[in-house]
Amino acid sequence: MESVALLRHANLFFGSNSGPLNLAAASQTEAFGLFGNTPVLTYSNYIHAVVPEGGPSADGMGRILPTDVLDAIAPYLDLRKQP
């Protein structure tokens, strides 16, 4: 419950394709998922995929660069959720 409450109040979330990513999206928090070796989730407008060049593959997580993540989240860094 505490995790969901924190995610609900967060301005954004980023991490691997995981439970917290899905909880963030369900909480209407912009969620940036690292989809290096898994198919991209498309069920929510709050999930933004960060994928390696060429798409997900067995070595995909190692090919996602920190700059890829920063480029994806940069437009959202100054946005604030309304309480």
In a domain, 81, yes or no: no
In a domain, 83, yes or no: no
Count Cβ atoms within 10 A of the Cβ of residue 44 and give its class: 0-12 exposed, 13-18 middle, 19 or more buried.
middle
Mean pLDDT of 15-23: 95
> Given this model, what pLDDT does residue 64 score?
97
Q: How many angstroms separate the first and last alpha carbons of the chain?
A: 18
Domain of residue 15: give its range.
2-76
Our count of domains for the chain comes to 1
Positive or negative: CA dihedral 31, 34, 37, 39: positive
How many angstroms separate the CA atoms of 42 and 48, rounded?
9
How many angstroms separate the CA atoms of 3 and 16, rounded?
16
In a domain, 34, yes or no: yes
pTM comes to: 0.89
Please write the tens of the pLDDT for every residue from 21-71. 999 999 999 999 999 999 999 999 999 999 999 999 999 999 999 999 999
In a domain, 82, yes or no: no
